[in-house]
Structure 1
Amino acid sequence: MGNAVISSDKWHPVLDRCLTISGEEEEEAFQLLENLASFMLPYEISASPLLQQMWYIIDNTKYDGNDKRLKALSVLTELSMGSADKMQLLIDSNKNARQVLALLLCRGKFDVRQQVLVILRNMLINLPSSIPFLVERQTVIGVSDLLTVMHPDTVILALEAMKAILENGGSPMTPENNEPSFSLLAEEASVHSRLDFLVSSPNEHVALLAMEILHEYIDPNDDDIILPDDLIDLTLHPLS
């Protein structure tokens, strides 16, 4: 995609029309916006209405159950895989980002919850400073609930997000109702018992991640948790 296209406002009509179009035209429009989010430089993003429009779609009840919301989340996913500056723009562009993402993570359709999980997972791992800004009680509850689904890839994403939260060891930046530390929020959200169950998962990656989190962050003094010598490399990378 040429810099001339990105730097100009020729694509702005597409951004305006994405609120009303549907079908194949909608697919093409949001694909263009995803590409823009990937290629644009931070100053170009901040100078454009791209993020504001995506948040408008994501946070508007008019689009409950509508594929537009999922497509708008896909645009944010592109930013969550970008530079630290792009990820920071994602946070700064909506003062209610934490509450919006937490609500969708808990109450959205499954595909929406998965997409929000990918965004959070990427942000929490690759921009740890975002954790106090993006995580609250409902976020922890939503991630914990996704540990119970019969979809190993989703469970792995939830485990990786939970690992990042617990590794931070802090608490929400602006606690609601005196919210405690992330570790206590995880305990309240039944994370411990769900990890105990996942240790027996037939999926090796799931089992090892659950075991690692239990050993490193939940109960490091539990002699029953024995990490295998050949623990696989669980280095985490951005996901689309």
Structure 2
Amino acid sequence: MDSKTALLIYSRLLSIYPHTETHFLTFSNPYECLVMTILSAQTTDLTVNRVAPLLFERYPSPEALAGAEPEDVEELIRPTGFYHTKARHIIGSALVIVERFSGLVPNRMEELLSLPGVGRKTANIVLHHSFRVNAGVAVDTHVRRLSQRIGLSLSRDPNQIEQDLIRLYPQALWGEITYVLIRHGREVCDARRPACDICIIRDLCDYGTSEAREKKI
């Protein structure tokens, strides 16, 4: 796919999902953003938003979380699933932030990637929403699925998908393309039953046009 078509796709999606500053996770600072993004793996934003206030009431800062007992954190975040691993990651990240970054969540990609449990997806989300830095494109399950389905990328590898999206879109849009693809994936382009009949980008989508040909539409 060429950049012109990719930009048209973004423009159409933006027209129906205009609130580009809406966060799926509700946080108030980089520390909360980081922890909640780690917790959001393999669960819903609704669950994380429900659990987070209790977690941050008890551990309001990296310093507090760094000294937490894993069992206490696990109990608080249990509803998010994989709570043993997630507790280890958020406590470990807090400890590194305190020891290496003076208690402040770092605002550079390579520094964020040094934190336990933080990959490029999490780092990109934290950088974009907490620091307004577009260092790359956050590729979650929705972005991965839609990129392949639409034809924005032919790869199954999230890192390669990110590079393909970076090639197609100007840096100013790297954070927002994630937003519109996630919204479209949740509301129209479902994993099992994509609603192609109401899709605003059907004529630009590899899946939509191939389905139309198969049905002779």
The answer to whether TM tops 0.5 is no
Q: What TM-score does the superposition give when structure 2 sets the normalisation length?
A: 0.27
